[in-house]
Amino acid sequence: MRKILLAAAAPVGAFILTLIISSITLWAFGSNPFSAYGDMLGHAAKLETQVDILNRATPLYLSAVAAAIGFRMNLFNIGVEGQYLFAYLIAAQVGSMFALPQLLHIPLIMITAMAVGGAYAGIAGVLKVTRGVNEVISTIMLNAIAISGVIAWLQQSWQSDQDQFTSTTLGTDPIDDSGLFPDINGLLEIFTRDIAQGKQLTGLLLVAVAVGLGYHFLLTRMRFGFDLRASGLNPFAARAGGIPPKRMVVAAMFLSGAIAGLIGMVELADTAKFPPDPIKGLGFAGIAVALLGRNNPFAMVLSALLFAFLDVSAGILQNTQAATKEIVNIMQGIVLLAAVIAYGVSKRVQEREEARFTAEALAEIDPIGADS
Amino acid sequence: MARLQKLHDVPAWIRWPVYALLGIFLLTVVQSITGTERLTQVSTSREMLRWAVPIFLAGLGGLFSERAGVVNIGLEGMLILGMWFGAWGSIEYGAWWGLVIGMAGGGLGGLLHAIATVTFQVDHIISGVAINILAPAITRYLSDEIWASPTTSPRTTSVGDWDVPFLAGGTIFGWESPDVLLDIGKAEWWFVSDVADLIRGLLRGTHWVAIIAILLVPATTWLVWRTRFGLRLRIAGENPQAGEAQGINIIRYKYVAVVISGALAGLGGAFISTELSGLFQGGNSAGRGFIGLAALIFGNWRPGGVLAGALLFGYVFGLDLKDLDGTASHALLLVNTVVLGAVLLWAVKRRRTTDAVLAGILGSGAFIWWLSADAVPSWWSNILPYVLVLLVLVFFSQRLRAPAKLGEPYRKGS
């Protein structure tokens, strides 16, 4: 019980600290923090806003799982951003080239996306194990190569109207309806009233749930997950235990990138093509969600919902004029940094408790060792 | 082997200019083959310096932090803070104050990183990533509140630039001195004029910050390798327990190093917003904080090496900016071929099979591409700097020595 309280104390403390700092910030710039928070919470009580939040939380959660797979073995895949955009583009193009029944079309697109994302992340893994290139810098460079170079180029050369170069025609050809992941409004409306304003709850939510469960299953029940955690906790012991370190690095990077490939599928189900200006920044936000949720499949659900709530609230604050909408980005940044520090503190407290517990337990052992 | 030993005995201030001359010679030869003139123009080296300065300052910031054992991925965020605070300070209090306030803003980011990593022993990369996420958020909010736009500021003021007298036609007390390098450049002597052009680009219209940055190379070497402060700073990164046993307050040295690190990245950011763009613009950092880290690795955690790396990356960035038809980047393919050929020879001599195979494949690829086209598409010139960073890391990562306890948490009395 004490342990659970201690584990919960860190994120709760971080959240309270965030509220204090952002309130001071809002107040210092002449906004009323309470009316801003009131607006944010008031809108979040509406069903349509909740659908928006779930639609935002879905890619954030996928992105967080992608980052967490690497983090679990101290592998920092900062390149989720480039991997998902690249996978999104290629998958959209492949999807637009075929007319297939739905049961083949959707898997084709999703498998393409996972393969491309995995392969692109795999480059960083291969460079790390064969050439000793730090994966943080290589994935950042691969981000820049994908986003400012390859995607910008392919976006232009794959657009349908080659004669007219306008910013609105950029991107791939539209995909047939058979390739679009259906929405699950019907599923939600079993429990609620009808969803108004034409909002659609993304079907990828189910995929995200499956990915989360799969990640949990992988870590707790599978050999690969055990190897992954062992390599992260103590690479030397893992190696001595017969876990091939190089293969693990490449495999973890590939898996991380493959999950990253699914992020763009949420938007693709809505736009039916790779748009001129796709949603960016989900990769970096996913890293934050993963760190806040400590790579735990269930805690990351909460942190993805929190980040999604803040993202959606930005639009609401802009409408109500209660505060500058950028305050939500500040709150995300502060809650992340505060949580990261709070986890560090709670880890130290825990270690000290354990040390004391061990010392007490050892003191109680009777020297002959008869009843230990 | 004996010959190589001799090469290392040559002092660095002779060795590096010789390397630079060899590089320019290669560029000149390639230029005579391909017909482009852009590789050695005055504007090319000017752009190179403009790009290199923030990369170098970020890399030098990384040097302070990493020599003290703290990995600093947050340099990018600190550079972004410097961009904003530099622009704000420059608008509110004038150009020089802008630079100082930009340094303070970056230093604040450094302080945050130090609190997280040194006091609370948060993983260095996690803390850095958090700062990289927090910094753009802060600048967006402040921009929106103060300038009513989340991404752009009003025009800033610049501290200005300086022409070196005699060599590049600077004025002394109102008297216009001769422009020797201009005359040599105009004479169109093969190689000599190319060298003159490239040097003139560095000496004419030189930003004061660039001059400060270059002076920081000897200053850092002196501070980190010749003073007691520097020795203790390096102990914090190499063997903190030994330092502690000598009564050194390791934690304080780590703090100072990381704050200096942030301040230098902040100066680089202030340079971007006040001197290069003339305003704060979100996203203008173009990842130069990260590229600074790559320059740090390329430079083997030494100031001169960081400068060399920054100039190398700056050259490719600067070339791309003026290279609208892609012919100069195309000529660079031939340069790549020659350089990779040299790497191949070196690798064969040292019996490093993987290096040789890699260099062979990449070199012949570059050569075939050069033969089969007259120009390269613009997306290739856009990504070339980042590809170069990757290539440099591919060939250099294993040959370098990072500080021994880099990235390891340090706890007093452990």
pLDDT band at A161 (very low <50, low <70, confident <90, very high): low
Model pLDDT, residue A372? 45
Report d(CA B112, CA B118) in Å as an integer.
10
Nearest Cα to B156, choosing from B277, B54, B57?
B277
Report d(CA A199, CA B145) in Å as an integer.
32
Mean pLDDT of A19-27: 89
3-state secondary structure of B152: strand
Treating both helix axes as pointing N-terminal to C-terminal, what angle do A33-44 and A2-28 enclose, rounded to 10 degrees?
A: 120
Model pLDDT, residue A296? 92
> Does residue A240 sit within a domain?
yes
| DSSP code of residue B164 | P
ipTM here: 0.85
pLDDT in tens, B190-236: 777 787 788 887 888 788 899 999 999 999 999 999 999 999 999 99
Backbone region of residue A197 per phi and psi (left: phi > 0; alpha: psi in -120 to 50; beta: other values):
left
Q: Which H or E element spans position B171?
A: strand B171-172
Mean pLDDT of A160-165: 64
Model pLDDT, residue A359? 86
Find out whether B329 and B381 touch, Cβ atoms under 8 Å.
yes
> Does residue A266 sit within a domain?
yes
Model pLDDT, residue B337? 87
> Does residue A25 sit within a domain?
no
**pLDDT over 90, % of chain A:** 34
Model pLDDT, residue A371? 53
Nearest Cα to B29, choosing from B374, B315, B334, B363?
B334
* Whole-Å CA distances, B211 to A351, B164, B217, B247: 50, 11, 10, 38
Find out whether A303 and A289 touch, Cβ atoms under 8 Å.
yes
* Residue of A29, A75, A131, A332 to mutate, testing the B interface (most B Cβ within 10 Å of its Cβ): A131
**Partner residue opposite A137 with nearest CB, options B138, B393, B398:** B393
> Does residue A302 sit within a domain?
no
pLDDT band at A165 (very low <50, low <70, confident <90, very high): low
Assess whether pLDDT exceeds 80 at residue B155: yes
Mean pLDDT of chain B: 86
| DSSP code of residue B281 | B
- Determine the number of helices (DSSP H) and then strands (DSSP E) in chain B: 17, 4
Mean pLDDT of A251-260: 95
Model pLDDT, residue B190? 76
Contacts of A127 (CB under 8 A, 6+ apart): A133, A135, A138, B390, B393, B394
Nearest Cα to A179, choosing from A270, A297, A255?
A270
**pLDDT over 90, % of chain B:** 31
pLDDT band at B78 (very low <50, low <70, confident <90, very high): very high
The answer to whether the Cα torsion of B220, B226, B230, B235 is positive or negative is: positive
Model pLDDT, residue B52? 93
Model pLDDT, residue B1? 43
> Does residue A149 sit within a domain?
yes
Report d(CA B137, CA A335) in Å as an integer.
12
Model pLDDT, residue A257? 96
Mean pLDDT of A295-309: 93
**pLDDT over 70, % of chain B:** 97
Mean pLDDT of A170-199: 81
pLDDT band at A6 (very low <50, low <70, confident <90, very high): confident
Mean pLDDT of A265-277: 88
* Residue of B386, B388, B401 to mutate, testing the A interface (most A Cβ within 10 Å of its Cβ): B386
Report d(CA B217, CA A258) in Å as an integer.
44
Between B15 and A286, name the one with better pLDDT. A286
**What residue type is B350 in one-letter code?**
R
Model pLDDT, residue B5? 56
Q: What pTM was estimated for this model as a whole? A: 0.89
Model pLDDT, residue A321? 80
CA A289 to chain centre: 6
* Whole-Å CA distances, B82 to B72, B86, B282, B303: 16, 5, 12, 21
pLDDT band at B250 (very low <50, low <70, confident <90, very high): very high
Give the number of domains in chain A.
Answer: 1
**Cβ <8 Å between A344 and B120:** yes
Highest mean pLDDT among A55-64, B144-153, B309-318: A55-64
Query: Chain B contact for A76, CB < 8 A?
Result: yes
pLDDT band at B376 (very low <50, low <70, confident <90, very high): confident
**Cβ <8 Å between A336 and B133:** yes
Q: In chain B, whose CA is at the least distance from the CA of A345?
A: B120
Tokens encoding B336: 């790549």
Report d(CA A25, CA A20) in Å as an integer.
9
Q: In chain A, whose CA is at the least distance from the CA of B77?
A: A333
**pLDDT over 70, % of chain A:** 95
**Partner residue opposite B390 with nearest CB, options A141, A284, A345:** A141
Give residues 311 to 340 of A whose Cβ lies within 8 Å of B. Answer: 324-327, 329-330, 332-334, 336-337, 340
Model pLDDT, residue B326? 72
Contacts of A265 (CB under 8 A, 6+ apart): A88, A91, A109, A110, A113, A181, A204, A207
**Cβ <8 Å between A76 and B129:** yes
3-state secondary structure of A229: helix
* Residue of A80, A329, A335, A346 to mutate, testing the B interface (most B Cβ within 10 Å of its Cβ): A329
| DSSP code of residue A277 | S
pLDDT band at B263 (very low <50, low <70, confident <90, very high): very high
pLDDT in tens, A221-238: 888 888 888 888 888 888
Q: CA angle, A330 as apex, A324 and A331 as ends, to 5°?
A: 100
pLDDT in tens, B28-62: 888 888 777 777 777 888 888 999 999 999 999 99
**Cβ <8 Å between A327 and B141:** yes
pLDDT in tens, B322-361: 666 777 888 888 888 888 888 888 888 888 888 888 888 9
Find out whether A262 and A110 touch, Cβ atoms under 8 Å.
yes
**Cβ <8 Å between B129 and A291:** yes
Question: SS3 helix, strand, coil % of chain B, rounded to 5?
Answer: 75, 0, 25
A117, HSE (Cβ side, Cα atoms, 13 Å): 35
Q: In chain B, whose CA is at the least distance from the CA of A147?
A: B383
The size of chain B, in residues, is: 414
Between A248 and B414, name the one with better pLDDT. A248
Model pLDDT, residue A33? 86
pLDDT in tens, A352-368: 888 888 888 888 776 56
Assess whether pLDDT exceeds 90 at residue A260: yes
Contacts of A322 (CB under 8 A, 6+ apart): A31, A32, A35, A36, A38, A39
Between B398 and B89, name the one with better pLDDT. B89
pLDDT band at A70 (very low <50, low <70, confident <90, very high): very high
Model pLDDT, residue A186? 78
* Residue of A27, A81, A340 to mutate, testing the B interface (most B Cβ within 10 Å of its Cβ): A340
pLDDT band at A58 (very low <50, low <70, confident <90, very high): very high
Residue-range definition of the domain harbouring residue A122: 59-294
**Cβ <8 Å between A142 and B125:** no
Mean pLDDT of chain A: 87
> Does residue A327 sit within a domain?
no
> Does residue A145 sit within a domain?
yes
According to DSSP, the β-strands at B206-207 and B175-176 are: unpaired
Q: Which H or E element spans position A246?
A: helix A245-271
> Does residue A112 sit within a domain?
yes
